[in-house]
Chains A and B, each alone.
Chain A
Amino acid sequence: QKEVEQDPGPLSVPEGAIVSLNCTYSNSAFQYFMWYRQYSRKGPELLMYTYSSGNKEDGRFTAQVDKSSKYISLFIRDSQPSDSATYLCAMSAYSGGSNYKLTFGKGTLLTVNP
């Protein structure tokens, strides 16, 4: 079983739809949970991060963490064509010394059609 599982999609939705992106994980040591957006041929851009279970909202984006189920989600409301990108979940765990390492999901390719 991989440490982080993410459905690679592709996911295609009409403009204005609500998008739900999800990751599951198996490592209880993960402490921080991030969502990155990556446009084609560009570097990952940090969208949101969360620590505890619960919801965190930023504009049209809501990140949700359920540590008891080892499940995280990213919701995008009123999706726009500019949201078309690959969305990567990432989780951070202590790796010795003063280091923390990120473990990424495979990424979900999202296309929002006008």
Chain B
Amino acid sequence: DTEVTQTPKHLVMGMTNKKSLKCEQHMGHRAMYWYKQKAKKPPELMFVYSYEKLSINESVPSRFSPECPNSSLLNLHLHALQPEDSALYLCASSQETRTPLTASVAKNIQYFGAGTRLSVL
């Protein structure tokens, strides 16, 4: 089973709202990712969590706040978003090891969820 589940599927929010996106996987993966994808563009990496710790933040504005409460869950908290933040938000996961530079297949292969389509009004 290579399923990554994201909720909600669609979200409409105003610029003053606070909302959260949720991602869940039960594949035992210990690396989880948030991506943002605009129409007709490839996904852009936002955050990477490794063993529940934030390991990469791609200079994302602070109005996006990630959280990894346990090894299966990843949240993205949204606050005071702008209309240009409207996009498809994708969660992905991959296997992880604590051995640096181990170029195992599993570490490099990311599985994506169906995404949350976010509209900011």
A-B residue pairs in contact (CB < 8 Å), sample of 6 = A32-B108, A44-B112, A98-B96, A98-B102, A102-B45, A107-B42
Are the CB atoms of A99 and B50 closer together than 8 Å?
A: yes
Are the CB atoms of B109 and A46 closer together than 8 Å?
A: yes
Are the CB atoms of B108 and A42 closer together than 8 Å?
A: no
Interface residues of A in 52-99 (CB under 8 A from B): 88, 92, 94-95, 97-99
Q: How far is the CA of A34 from the CA of B103 in the complex (A)?
A: 15
Closest residue of chain A to B91, judged by CB?
A43
Closest residue of chain B to A92, judged by CB?
B108
Evaluate whether A106 and B42 lie within 8 angstroms (CB atoms) in the complex, with A42-B115, A98-B100 already known: yes
Closest residue of chain A to B102, judged by CB?
A98
Contacts of B102 in A (CB 8 A): 98
Evaluate whether A98 and B97 lie within 8 angstroms (CB atoms) in the complex, with A36-B112, A42-B115, A43-B112 already known: yes
Contacts of B96 in A (CB 8 A): 98
Are the CB atoms of A99 and B108 closer together than 8 Å?
A: no
Are the CB atoms of B56 and A41 closer together than 8 Å?
A: no
Evaluate whether A32 and B105 lie within 8 angstroms (CB atoms) in the complex, with A43-B112, A44-B112, A95-B56 already known: yes
- Answer yes or no: B107 CB below 8 A from chain A CBs: yes
Are the CB atoms of A104 and B103 closer together than 8 Å?
A: no
Contacts of B70 in A (CB 8 A): none
Closest residue of chain B to A98, judged by CB?
B100
Contacts of A45 in B (CB 8 A): 112
A 23-48 to B, binary, CB cutoff 8 A, 1 in contact else 0: 00000000110101000011111100
18 additional contacts (CB under 8 A) given A32-B103, A49-B105, A101-B48: A32-B105, A32-B108, A34-B108, A42-B114, A43-B113, A46-B110, A88-B42, A92-B109, A97-B50, A97-B100, A98-B96, A98-B107, A99-B48, A100-B94, A100-B107, A104-B43, A106-B42, A107-B40
Contacts of B4 in A (CB 8 A): 43
